[in-house]
Amino acid sequence: MNTMPEDRKVILITGTSKGIGLYLAQHYISKGFQVIGCSRNSVDFSDSLYTHICADISEEQDILEIYKFIRKDIKRLDVLINNAAINPAIVSAALLPYETISQTFRTNVFAPMLFCREAVKLMTRNKFGRIINMGSMASKHEVPGEALYTSTKTALNAYSRVLAKEVAKAGITVNVIAPSAIKTELSGKINPMALQEVLSRNAIAEYGEMNDVSNIIDVLIKEESSAITGQIIYLGGV
Partner 1 sequence: MDVLELIYEVIDELNLDLGPSEQLKKDENSVIFGPESTLDSMGLVNLITLIEQRIEEKTGNFIAIADERAMSMQESPFKTVKTLKEYIEVLLNEYNA
Ligand X SMILES: NC(=O)c1ccc[n+]([C@@H]2O[C@H](COP(=O)([O-])OP(=O)(O)OC[C@H]3O[C@@H](n4cnc5c(N)ncnc54)[C@H](OP(=O)(O)O)[C@@H]3O)[C@@H](O)[C@H]2O)c1
Residues at the interface with ligand X (CB under 6 A)? 15-21, 38-41, 55-58, 83-86, 107, 134, 136, 179, 181-182, 184-187
**How far is residue 104 from each of residues 5, 57, 232, measured CA to CA in Å?**
38, 11, 21
Nearest-approach distance from CB 14 to partner 1, in angstroms: 20
Residues 6+ apart with CB under 8 A from 152: 85, 104, 105, 108, 109
CB of 191 to ligand X, least distance (A): 13
Contact 148, 166 (CB under 8 A): no
Q: Tell whether residue 169 is a contact of partner 1 (CB under 8 A).
A: yes
Q: DSSP 3-state assignment of 29?
A: helix
Binding positions for partner 1, 57-116, rule CB under 8 A: 64, 68, 71
121 binds partner 1 (CB under 8 A): yes
Q: CA 218 → CA 2, 18, 33, 50, 131, distances in Å?
A: 26, 20, 12, 18, 12
Q: Please say which residue, 40 or 127, places its beta carbon nearer to ligand X.
A: 40
- Please identify, using beta-carbon distances, which residue of 170 and 194 lies nearer to partner 1: 170
Phi first, then psi, for residue 17 (nearest 5°) are -80, -20
Nearest residue to ligand X, scored by beta-carbon proximity: 19
Amino acid at the residue 208: G
> Minimum Å distance from CB 64 to partner 1?
7
Residue 174 phi, psi dihedral angles, 5° rounding:
-135, 120
Phi, psi values for residue 47, rounded to 5°: -160, 145
The entry of partner 1, ligand X, none that residue 21 binds, CB within 5 to 8 Å by partner kind: ligand X
Rounded to a whole number of angstroms, the minimum distance from the CB of residue 208 to ligand X is 7
Measured in degrees and rounded to the nearest 5, phi and psi for residue 162 equal -70, -45
Could you say which of ligand X, partner 1, none residue 181 binds, taking C-beta under 5 to 8 angstroms by partner kind?
ligand X
The footprint of partner 1 (CB under 8 A) covers 64, 68, 71, 120-121, 124-125, 166-167, 169-170
